[in-house]
Amino acid sequence: MVKRTIVKQYLDFKTLMEHLDPDEEDEDGELSANTAARNKAINALVGGSRPKNNAETDDEESDGEE
């Protein structure tokens, strides 16, 4: 199971790097597919959606500073 997770992370990272440094210019149809692939790779690398309690932590810190 660990190997599968590592391979998935590697493939997501590879997709992201290919998008950031493409070898050739893409056509418009391919551009939207690449954008979707890039967003999926970014979400996988950062662990999916943002945690909800992250915003609460920021609010608590700002209350203490005021």
pLDDT at 8: 92
- List the Cα angle 54/58/59 in 5-degree steps: 115
Domain ranges of the chain: 1-47
Of the pLDDT bands very low, low, confident and very high (cuts 50, 70, 90), residue 57 is very low
| Cα 54 from Cα 20, distance rounded (Å) | 28
Q: What is the mean pLDDT of residues 19-45?
A: 70
Is the C-alpha dihedral spanning 27, 21, 3, 5 positive or negative? negative
Q: What is the mean pLDDT of residues 48-63?
A: 50
Give the model confidence (pLDDT) of 17-27 as tens digits: 887 877 655 55
Of the pLDDT bands very low, low, confident and very high (cuts 50, 70, 90), residue 30 is low
**11 pLDDT exceeds 80?**
yes
Tokens 């149809």, residue located: 29
